[in-house]
């Protein structure tokens, strides 16, 4: 593999924000080699074909990366596959995640199963993958580690009574149905602390680490697109560009922090 290319591994890159990150990397003036992560080879290859159709003259290249964050074996195989073609990576972007609070019950999942699957995908899997890829990151001259978080993990936002997800139901039990995100929001709060620990652990190795809040956008993760639009969700393309801005050095003064694209109503909220 050409040493002139910046090597990027993106999880969950076959759809949504991850796909848009890959798309903006392909359109950059900087040449990249992108490991496009997905849960199956078909999903990764289909996304790659579509991306290359849109950018036939790109300087960058793509390789399928099969990784299921619920499986230690899958994570280990993905790292082995990366090692078979390169001895270093420059950027690791943890984009993949799940939100099962809304549709988990319709899949027959219990509350415990919803929490377990959310945490293993959003927290445990990324932590294990990071641990296994750190030796490759440390061989980069400019290593970067990004975890995609959510504005719903903001304690500041949680105090805003005007935000639709903060509506308090009437007194009494049981409460009337309304959209709650107990497992998803708490997993992203945990991810913010995972970032802080990796920032501390890798600080002397000069690894730049962030959590990145891409803003509320319409993707398959959030469920009903119309509901998301009512909440103010935008186009994931802008989120992809924002993440690439972080990759390309535009938020280097904010390492160890959560950096954010604008949140609802044009506000930038502290965490």
Catalytic residue among 43, 88, 188, 208: 188
State both tokens at 93: 């972007």
pLDDT at 178: 81
Q: Cβ(22)–Cβ(34) under 8 Å?
A: yes
Domain ranges within the chain, ordered by starting residue = 6-266
150 among known catalytic residues: yes
107 burial (CB, 10 Å; 0-12 / 13-18 / 19+) is exposed
265 catalytic? Reply is no
Q: Supply the pLDDT for residue 156.
A: 83
For the segment 218-258, what is each residue's pLDDT rounded down to a tens digit? 555 555 555 555 555 556 557 899 999 999 999 999 999 99
Lowest mean pLDDT of 122-131, 174-183, 217-226, name the range: 217-226
DSSP secondary structure of 104-126: TGGGT--HHHHHHHHHIIIIIHH
- Architecture of 6-266 per CATH? 3-Layer(aba) Sandwich (3.40)
pLDDT at 264 > cutoff 90:
no
Which is higher by pLDDT, 208 or 230? 208
**For residue range 144-166, what is the model confidence (pLDDT) as tens digits?**
999 999 888 888 888 888 777 78
Residue 265 has what pLDDT?
38
Catalytic residue among 184, 185, 199, 208: 184
> CA 87 to CA 206: how far, in whole Å?
18
Give the pLDDT score at 221. 56
Token duo for residue 29: 């003036």
């Amino acid at each position: 593999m050409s040493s002139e290319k910046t090597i990027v591994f993106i999880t969950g890159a076959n759809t949504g924000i991850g796909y848009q990150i890959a798309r903006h990397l392909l359109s950059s003036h900087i040449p990249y080699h992108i490991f496009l992560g997905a849960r199956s080879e078909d999903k990764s290859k289909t996304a790659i074909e579509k991306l290359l159709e849109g950018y036939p003259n790109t300087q960058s290249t793509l390789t399928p990366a099969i990784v299921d964050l619920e499986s230690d074996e899958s994570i280990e195989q993905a790292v082995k596959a990366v090692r078979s073609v390169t001895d270093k990576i420059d950027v690791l972007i943890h984009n993949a995640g799940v939100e099962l609070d809304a549709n988990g019950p319709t899949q027959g999942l219990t509350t415990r199963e919803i929490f377990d699957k959310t945490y293993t995908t959003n927290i445990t899997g990324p932590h294990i993958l990071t641990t296994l890829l750190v030796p490759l990151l440390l061989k980069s001259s400019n290593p970067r580690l990004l975890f995609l978080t959510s504005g719903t993990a903001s304690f500041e936002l949680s105090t805003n009574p005007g935000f639709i997800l903060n509506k308090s139901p009437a007194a009494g039990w049981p409460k009337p149905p309304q959209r709650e995100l107990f497992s998803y929001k708490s997993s992203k709060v945990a991810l913010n602390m995972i970032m802080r620990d990796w920032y501390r652990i890798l600080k002397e190795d000069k690894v730049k680490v962030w959590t990145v809040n891409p803003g509320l956008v319409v993707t398959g993760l959030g469920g009903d697109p119309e509901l998301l639009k009512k909440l103010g969700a935008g186009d994931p393309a802008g989120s992809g560009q924002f993440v690439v801005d972080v990759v390309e050095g535009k938020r280097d003064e904010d390492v160890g922090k959560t950096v954010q694209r604008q949140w609802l109503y044009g506000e930038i909220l502290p965490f």
